[in-house]
Chains A and B, each alone.
Chain A
Amino acid sequence: MFAIARTFALVGVAAEPVHVEVDIGSGLPSFTIVGLPDAAVRESRERVRSALVNSGFKFPQQRITANLAPADLPKAGPGFDLAIATALLVSTDQLPQTVLDRYALAGELALDGQIRPVPGALAMAEATRGWGLAGVAVAPEDATHAALVQGLDVMPIRHLNEMRLLAEGAVEPHPPSSPPTGDEELPDLGDLRGHPVLRRCLEIAAAGAHSLLLIGPPGGGKTLALQRLPSLLPPLSCEEVIEVTRIAGVCGENGGPRLRRPFRSPHHTISGRALVGGGAPPRPGEVTRAHRGVLLLDELGEFRRDALEALRVPLEEGAVTVTRTSGAVSLPCRFMLVAASNPCPCGHGPDSGECDCHPTAVSRYMAKLSGALADRIDITLTVDPPPAEELSDAEAEGSGAVRERVIRARRAQERRLGPGRTNAEMTPAETRRHCEIDRASRQTLEAGHRQLGLSARGWDRCLRLARTIADLAGEERIAEPHVAEAIEKRRRGQS
């Protein structure tokens, strides 16, 4: 009269195994759930009772104890319903033991026995491979996610009474979803007329995943340009699709595998915690949701200072570590930061002659742009509205051609650094190894530091940027023009 079902609990963006042990004993009829359940897990009793009865099963009038092990891991949410119900059915001999031996289970029960999707099904599917099980049984919506994991039977279950079919082997596994290559419509770079320098900066930023800051008056095309950035980025690799989809799933976004790099654009009123993640239990923030993609901070100067300060470590480390008494959780966040800002509170810019801002207000505003993030931004560019004659120019180069060049440059980086790595993430050691420069380049770089006031940290950033520019040019060695261009791109944020 005892059964164990396997399911999972989310810790950060990873699935931790949870065993649901159900024991049926003699005594007054009761139903107890132990093992640090939250309110949603405790209410599971009512859902399980009704779902069982409405699916044509019998609910035992005995003393039922369900334990969610490990007992010290807090459990949250309704995702344990299916595992509890199935373990209960097996322990009362209404279902054969094989169901529990073969599959990990996750799903929320409706009162009529329908199975609803839960956050993190893909995370569970990934983890299940390590648990020695043949597959997972989840709601059909979750199955499309979970089927991204190769070598695993993903069983879509619509209703609790389909568990009988599952036991008989009459359920077809979901066909493995391979990340389709089809392109959705993205805003195209061809819409951006004029702006030759801005286009070049977008291309370099996309090629090396470098952070980019555009400063300029309103209406200059900053936001328009940045929204076209996703169309320049290379497609996600299979592993990356899983990572990105898993994070989307954990955040409760179902709807098939994520093929596109995420593009997150939080409003400037966002708090530091919402940006980098946190809370108890730790929830991923915007930086994690932008993992492998782009985080756009529009109106950078309006963001709260503490929020911007909080971005520093994630930018540097590529991960956020949230420490709670229950332990530390690491959330991945390898994203590309792009930002746009007005040059001063009024938007005209202190050098334009039209600016009405008080000099102190301007310097406070600039301090926000440069203070927290200056050294972490690779490319800073001033964007002015293009002259009218450029707006009527012939068709500008579209995203497709630029993307080809970006992909070629990224391939060179992956050969050098490993899959999925980019120049922007090179460690100091890697920078030394892969960014050797000749004498002429060194002289230019030294002159740049001396005369244009590039910071010490800026030295390595310049080299990484020069590496990307060389990669775009298809050169194995960095040459002086690459370094000179890197200085030009890098210097504006300094003043």
Chain B
Amino acid sequence: MNAEGGPPHACDDCLRRAWLIGSLVGYIEKVVSTAPGQRAQELLAFSDEDLVDAIAGRRGKTFLERARKRDPNRLREAIAGARAWACCRHDPCYPKGIRDLGDPPAALFGRGDADLLAALDPGSLVTIVGSRRPSGYGRELASALGRDLGSAGLVVVSGMAMGIDSCAHQGALEASAVTVAVLGTGVDLPYPPRCARLYEEIVERGLVISELPPGTQAYRWTFPARNRIMAALGAMTVVVEARERSGSLITSTMAQELGRDVGAVPGRVGSSPAAGTNGLLRDGGHLIRDAQDVLDSMVGVGANGARPRPVPRGRALDAELSRVLDLVESGLGSADALARSSGLEPGPLAAALVRLELSGYLRSDSAGRYERTALAAPDQ
């Protein structure tokens, strides 16, 4: 056993168990194809014997024998080769939250500064999850939450998926805070590949962890399985935009089952990217508007971790620009609607919109709709 403060350590038995699961990922995928989330969790809770029996039947014996013969030092070499480290459940560094799971992974693999793992305070971890296809509003909120919670000293945990997850990580990194990415692949594989740059940044300044040995590819079941780690890791789970039957809701359900607080950011009624989160709120989730709401429920009302930022103010606007700005604020997003209501010709209107966007008052999404930013107009 490892002394407090030392480098993370994994014992032979735990490494063998992790290796066994790593070598069976493809078989598990076949067995759990119908309900990847639930069934995989049941399987992962099995002992080695029951696991191989459940997925390979008679051939299971050979799997087991082979697994028992494996030399854990070879896995240790592979881990070192991937510039990663491993930490088993017998190590004091092993995050306490994850021990609450019925089936805590035998070993966690990680990349990034291992000292950060030992220093993680279970009470300061907040999990932010959400849609992979969020709206511009969702993106904005996720990065603001990541940034403000990070600067309040909390550690943002997420899954590095596209969309909300990436935004939350990004926000935390902007605030120079520690952030933890839990992957559904081996810890040395940036997944999705598009997030490779984010991955490098997190490795540099935070932690990337996974229960799967380095080199393990992504399967459908590995993502719900990693969701349980995220749910267990965070003292609170916040969902920013989730559709109905979204994977993010799996995380929040697991968090509830573990007795963790669950919060959700409200969205427009009837908007499908927010159907899941609005449902969570109806079912009694905490309503989250900003980082302060998270702090209130995690630390207690009045905790002033999140310094209220001064509302930024932009440069002065002439009458025409402020009229257009008012119209956008009143909810008109498309240039066509603005052209009709403002009475401006499309040409000058387009010029006005670009000026407002360049001075930071507006932002536009890929579909060309305009939204108001947080930047306030200067007092007249």
Binding site for B on A (CB under 8 A): 194-200, 343, 349-355, 359, 362-363, 381-382, 384, 386-387, 390, 444, 447-448, 451-452, 469, 473, 480-482, 484-485, 487-489, 492, 495
Which residues from 200 to 221 on chain B have a C-beta closer than 8 Å to any C-beta of chain A?
A: none
B residues less than 8 Å from A473 (CB atoms): 347
Quick one: given A196-B339, A197-B339, A382-B368, are A353 and B135 in contact (CB under 8 Å)? yes
Q: For the complex, what is the distance from the CA of A18 to the CA of B11, rounded to whole Å?
A: 90
B355 proximal to A (CB < 8 A) = yes
User: Do residues B346 and A484 form an inter-chain contact, with CB atoms below 8 A?
Assistant: no
Q: Which of B162, B339, B351, B368 contacts A485 (CB 8 A)?
A: B351
Q: Which residues of B contact A194 (CB under 8 A)?
A: 336
**A353 and B272 form a contact (CB under 8 A):** yes
Cα A197 to Cα B337 with chains together (Å): 9
Q: Are the CB atoms of A488 and B350 closer together than 8 Å?
A: yes
Most buried by B among A355, A447, A488: A488
Task: For B355, give its contact among A196, A386, A444, A489 (CB under 8 Å).
Answer: A444
Jot down 25 A-B pairs with beta carbons below 8 A, ordered by A.
A194-B336, A195-B336, A197-B339, A198-B336, A199-B346, A200-B345, A200-B346, A349-B367, A350-B133, A350-B366, A351-B135, A359-B162, A359-B163, A381-B368, A382-B368, A382-B369, A384-B367, A390-B340, A444-B355, A447-B358, A452-B358, A481-B347, A484-B351, A488-B353, A492-B368
Q: From residue B111, how far is it (CB to closest CB) to chain A in Å?
A: 25
User: Which of chain A's residues have a CB closer than 8 A to the CB of B365?
Assistant: 351
Given A452-B357, A492-B368, answer yes or no on A386-B336 (Cβ-Cβ < 8 Å). Answer: yes
Q: How far is the CB of B258 from chain A (nearest CB, A)?
A: 29
Having A350-B366, A384-B367, A492-B366, one finds 15 other A-B pairs with CB under 8 Å, namely A199-B346, A200-B345, A351-B367, A351-B369, A354-B272, A359-B162, A363-B194, A381-B368, A384-B334, A447-B358, A484-B350, A484-B354, A484-B355, A485-B348, A489-B350
A309 to B275, CA, bound (A): 41
B367 contacts across to A, CB distance below 8 A: 343, 349, 351-352, 382, 384
In the complex, what distance in Å separates the CA atom of A217 from the CA atom of B313? 37
A406 to chain B: closest CB distance in Å? 14
Checking B339, B350, B358 against A444 with a beta-carbon cut-off of 8 angstroms, the contacting residue is B358
Instruction: Using A351-B367, A353-B135 as known contacts, say yes or no to A485 and B334 having CB atoms under 8 A apart.
Output: no
Please tell me if the beta carbons of B358 and A451 are within 8 angstroms of each other in the complex.
Answer: yes
CA distance A348 to B133 in the complex (A): 13
Q: Are the CB atoms of A197 and B350 closer together than 8 Å?
A: yes
Q: Do B271 and A353 touch (CB < 8 A)?
A: yes
Q: When the two chains form their complex, are residues B135 and A197 in contact, meaning their CB atoms are under 8 A apart?
A: no
Give complex CA distance A352, B133 in Å: 10
* Chain B proximity of A69: nearest CB distance (Å): 60
B242-273 near A? 1/0 per residue, CB < 8 Å: 00000000000000000000000000000111
Q: Tell me the complex Cα distance, A343–B133, Å.
A: 14
Q: How many B residues, CB 8 Å from partner?
A: 34
Please tell me if the beta carbons of A197 and B346 are within 8 angstroms of each other in the complex.
Answer: yes
Q: Which of A194, A382, A451, A482 has the most CB of B within 10 A?
A: A382
Across the interface, B351 reaches (CB within 8 A) one of A381, A382, A488, namely A488
Chain B residues near A354 (CB, 8 Å)? 272
Chain A residues within 8 Å of B163, by CB: 359
Is B132 close to A, CB under 8 A? yes
Q: How far, in Å, is B240 (CB) from chain A's closest CB?
A: 15
List residues of chain A with CB within 8 A of the CB of B194: 363
CB of B136 within 8 Å of the partner chain: yes
Tell me whether B64 is interfacial, beta carbon within 8 Å: no
Write the nearest CB–CB distance from B355 to chain A, whole angstroms: 6
Residues of chain B contacted by A343 (CB below 8 angstroms): 366-367
Cross-chain contact of B354 among A350, A355, A363, A488 (Cβ < 8 A): A488
Q: Is the CB of B350 within 8 A of A359?
A: no
Residues of A within 8 A of B43 (CB): none
CA distance A447 to B367 in the complex (A): 21
List residues of chain B with CB within 8 A of the CB of A444. 354-355, 358
Residue in contact with A200 in the complex, picked from B334, B347, B352, B366, CB distance below 8 Å? B347
Q: Give every chain B residue within 8 A of A381 (Cβ-Cβ).
A: 368
The chain B residue with its CB closest to the CB of A483 is B351
B365 nearest in chain A by CB position: A351
Chain B residues whose CB sits within 8 angstroms of the CB of A197 once the complex forms: 335-336, 339, 346, 349-350
A409 to chain B, nearest CB (A): 13
By beta carbon, the residue of chain B nearest A488 is B350
A162 to B194, CA, bound (A): 75
Q: Which residues of A contact B348 (CB under 8 A)?
A: 481, 485
Complex: how many Å from CA A355 to CA B367?
13
Most buried by A among B136, B340, B368: B368
Interface centre among B340, B348, B366 (most CB of A within 10 A): B366
Neighbouring B residues of A448 by C-beta, 8 Å:
354, 358
Complex CA gap A458/B77 in Å reads 50
Q: In angstroms, how far is the closest chain B Cβ from the Cβ of A356?
A: 10
Given A359-B133, A359-B162: A487 and B354 interface contact (C-beta under 8 Å): yes
Question: Whose C-beta in chain B lies nearest to the C-beta of A384?
Answer: B334
Q: With contacts A200-B346, A484-B355 known, is A359 near B273, CB below 8 A?
A: no
- With a cutoff of 8 Å between Cβ atoms, the chain B residues found around residue A489 in the complex are 350
Report the bound CA distance from A84 to B251 in whole Å. Answer: 85
Q: Which of A197, A198, A363 has the most CB of B within 10 A?
A: A197
B residues in contact with A195, CB < 8 Å: 336
